[in-house]
Amino acid sequence: MLGKRTKLFFVISLGAVIFSVILATWGFPKIISNQIQKNVQLDNSSAMFEKWRKMPMPLTFKVYVFNVTNAEDINAGARPTLQEIGPYVYKEYRERTVLSYGDNDTVKYMLKKTFVFDKEATGALSEDDDIVVINFSYMAAILTVQDMMPSLAGVVNGALEQFFTNLKDPFLRVKVKDLFFDGLYVNCNGNHSALGLVCGKLKTDAPPTMRPAEDGSGFYFSMFSHMNRTETGPYEMVRGRENIKELGHIVSYKGKTSMSNRWGRDEYCGRLNGSDGSIFPPIDPSDVPDKLYTFEPEVCRSLYASLVGKSSIFNMTAYYYEISRDALAAKSANPNNKCFCKKNWSANHDGCLLMGVLNLMPCQDAPAIASLPHFYLGSEELLEYFDGGVSPDKEKHNTFLYLEPVTGVVLKGFRRLQFNIELRNIPTVPQLANVPTGLFPLLWIEEGAVLPDSVLDELRESHTLLSYVNAVRWILVAISVAALMCSAVAVARSGILPAWPRNSNSVSFILSPHPNSDINKVH
Ligand SMILES: *[C@@H]1O[C@H](CO)[C@@H](O)[C@H](O)[C@H]1NC(C)=O
Ligand SMILES: *[C@@H]1O[C@H](CO)[C@@H](O)[C@H](O)[C@H]1NC(C)=O
Ligand SMILES: *[C@@H]1O[C@H](CO)[C@@H](O)[C@H](O)[C@H]1NC(C)=O
Ligand SMILES: *[C@@H]1O[C@H](CO)[C@@H](O)[C@H](O)[C@H]1NC(C)=O
Ligand SMILES: *[C@@H]1O[C@H](CO)[C@@H](O)[C@H](O)[C@H]1NC(C)=O
Ligand SMILES: *[C@@H]1O[C@H](CO)[C@@H](O)[C@H](O)[C@H]1NC(C)=O
Ligand SMILES: *[C@@H]1O[C@H](CO)[C@@H](O)[C@H](O)[C@H]1NC(C)=O
Ligand SMILES: *[C@@H]1O[C@H](CO)[C@@H](O)[C@H](O)[C@H]1NC(C)=O
Ligand SMILES: *[C@@H]1O[C@H](CO)[C@@H](O)[C@H](O)[C@H]1NC(C)=O
């Protein structure tokens, strides 16, 4: 009777061990990853969805401008001396409007950003500050015309003098708020043929920085007003319900699955790779991606940040990624980048820009050139143009993010981009007859976020919960193993299994095949 029970106990506890080991090594991880997937996928039942649809906190959007301090000297041929002013801080609110759900586990949405000036964070600076910067719209117009019809530049300048009143040099004296958001009036009201050319091109290209004026004949130029309150998209993003590894991938933008029409039909450069930077798939610790791709509509291309390593931030483990040199490398260093070469720089670089800069003409229809702030990771040659005020610093000018591996949430991230335009010496244009040719920075932006404490706490809580769950599965294994051992001992004691060596039995110890080893055990 007793023997049967212990035998049953043994069998049950053996079953329990097997079951708990399977549970611990396969079942629990499966349940946990399912649970995580449920929480991060883009489904209106998930915890992430609302935060994704409407960001719970604003991003910070900071602008630093390059004030020109020696404009008169530059007009006479001196090297520019710049003075960085900033940051002018804005709060950037983001909201998405879901349009539809696609067949291939995708969601289609529009993205709306709203910028609000943050007086407190900006401190002593004000939107009414007067600054001197390169006259971007003027340079854009004259470069566009010169590249279309080189011989016409002088004639065109006559038109531009109508177009831009009081044109005396290529610099613009302006209030910060007009340059950023409010806009500067550009007159298209004249009957010069070259003016018609410039204005006609503006009308057909409709570059985002040129907002048509209410009077129908002119434009307002501003750097960011097109980003404020105008929806962009539609974007089509993978929801991660079928394959969590695909979560957040952008599959189409404005109805197109590739940007190759912008980059000479090249598949590599036109590829929509990665997410929009707000959401990433959870990271599998055994397969950590060494590059994180994001698609950046402002520059019509994908960029990537490379894995640097594991890091700890806010007392949490995270993976740290930062932009690497070869993302914006020149063709010589990264042959893949050759399709981004759409402009000759100083005519001595085989049809390609220098390292660290990206021509935005194919993307924005304006001869703007993007780079990292202060030409960080750019060619040294770019810095030689300045007499001061431009000095790259990794700490300040890097682009990076900290990714929380369990949920794929960005704990902290900053994206930085500088806008430049060429200041070109054109002998036939009086305003440009003496200036030195070079790449002239206008301003740089920093867009970033640090998760607020409330969200961090939520994450920490779920981590604590996870560690409990983790502990529980091993505790279950431990308990069942302990039970198995007890039952084994009980079974042995009750003598059901005669093969079990019983060292209390002197005969068995005398007959045992290795008496020596057993003698040591039995005193
Ligand atoms: C959630 O989305 C489904 C479509 O995927 C829709 O039918 C349902 O009404 C939505 N529920 C809520 C609460 O919005
Ligand atoms: C920008 O530089 C000009 C001189 O070129 C100076 O008068 C002006 O005060 C500077 N602006 C700011 C905000 O410092
Ligand atoms: C879904 O994906 C398949 C293959 O990847 C593709 O052929 C099909 O066009 C896609 N459907 C939609 C609606 O995007
Ligand atoms: C952005 O647009 C909103 C609404 O039109 C406006 O209230 C806000 O002042 C604008 N932001 C800036 C920085 O001009
Ligand atoms: C610069 O361009 C603007 C148009 O964007 C024009 O109104 C202004 O007169 C120009 N400034 C100077 C100093 O030439
Ligand atoms: C346009 O041309 C007409 C004559 O052809 C002239 O009277 C008028 O002043 C011109 N307008 C401008 C803005 O130059
Ligand atoms: C796109 O991603 C693939 C890998 O996912 C990579 O091989 C390719 O180089 C990327 N293309 C660009 C333009 O980033
Ligand atoms: C990290 O943990 C330590 C000790 O637990 C604590 O003193 C510290 O305040 C924590 N830091 C943050 C940023 O939460
Ligand atoms: C760049 O310039 C070189 C020679 O000056 C010329 O052969 C090449 O076609 C140009 N490339 C582009 C894209 O304009």
- Burial readout 124-163 (b: 16 or more C-beta within 10 A, e: otherwise): eeebebebbbbbbbbbbbbbbbbeeeeebbebbbebbbbb
Distance (Å, rounded) from C-alpha 281 to C-alpha 243?
10
Centre of ligand 3 from the C-alpha of residue 44, in Å: 23
Please give all residues whose beta carbon lies within 6 A of any atom in ligand 2, as ranges.
67-69, 85, 129-132
Centre of ligand 2 from the C-alpha of residue 119, in Å: 20
Q: Whose CA is nearest to atom 8 of ligand 2?
A: 131
Centre of ligand 2 from the C-alpha of residue 83, in Å: 8
Instruction: Note the pTM of the prediction, 2 decimals.
Output: 0.84
The confidence score (pLDDT) of residue 253 equals 92
Please give all residues whose beta carbon lies within 6 A of any atom in ligand 1, as ranges.
44, 101
The confidence score (pLDDT) of residue 428 equals 79
The confidence score (pLDDT) of residue 514 equals 47
Q: Whose CA is nearest to atom 10 of ligand 1?
A: 44
Extents of the domains making up the chain: 1-52+466-490, 58-451
Full DSSP string of 109-168: EEEEEEEEE-HHHHTT--TT-EEEEE-HHHHHHHHHHHHH-GGGHHHHHHHHHHHSTT--
Any ligand 9 atom below 6 A from CB of 348: no
| Positions of the chain with pLDDT lower than 50, given as ranges | 346-348, 350-351, 500, 502-523
Centre of ligand 7 from the C-alpha of residue 273, in Å: 6
Q: Whose CA is nearest to atom 3 of ligand 6?
A: 191
The confidence score (pLDDT) of residue 517 equals 43
The confidence score (pLDDT) of residue 342 equals 59
The confidence score (pLDDT) of residue 265 equals 73
Using most ligand atoms within 8 A of CB, pick from 44, 50, 97, 241 the residue to mutate for ligand 1: 44
Q: Which ligand has the shortest distance to the CA of 251?
A: 3
Distance (Å, rounded) from C-alpha 463 to C-alpha 479?
24
Centre of ligand 9 from the C-alpha of residue 261, in Å: 20
Distance (Å, rounded) from C-alpha 186 to C-alpha 232?
25
Centre of ligand 4 from the C-alpha of residue 116, in Å: 6
**What pLDDT, in 10s, does the model give residues 280-327?**
999 988 889 999 999 988 888 888 899 999 999 998 889 999 998 877
Centre of ligand 8 from the C-alpha of residue 453, in Å: 12
Any ligand 8 atom below 6 A from CB of 313: no
Centre of ligand 5 from the C-alpha of residue 419, in Å: 18
Centre of ligand 7 from the C-alpha of residue 279, in Å: 18
The confidence score (pLDDT) of residue 347 equals 47
Q: Is 493 helix (H, G, I), strand (E, B) or coil?
A: helix
* For the CA of 268, the nearest atom of ligand 7: 13
The confidence score (pLDDT) of residue 513 equals 44
Using most ligand atoms within 8 A of CB, pick from 99, 101, 104 the residue to mutate for ligand 3: 104
- Rounded to whole angstroms, the maximal C-alpha distance in the chain is 122
- Burial readout 494-523 (b: 16 or more C-beta within 10 A, e: otherwise): eeeeeeeeeeeeeeebeeeeeeeeeeeeee
Place of tokens 């709060």: 91
The confidence score (pLDDT) of residue 61 equals 96
The confidence score (pLDDT) of residue 4 equals 77
Using most ligand atoms within 8 A of CB, pick from 163, 184, 185 the residue to mutate for ligand 5: 184
Beta partners for 59? 92
Distance (Å, rounded) from C-alpha 350 to C-alpha 343?
9
Any ligand 8 atom below 6 A from CB of 314: yes
Decide if 179 contacts 131 (C-beta within 8 A).
yes
The confidence score (pLDDT) of residue 2 equals 56
* For the CA of 314, the nearest atom of ligand 8: 13
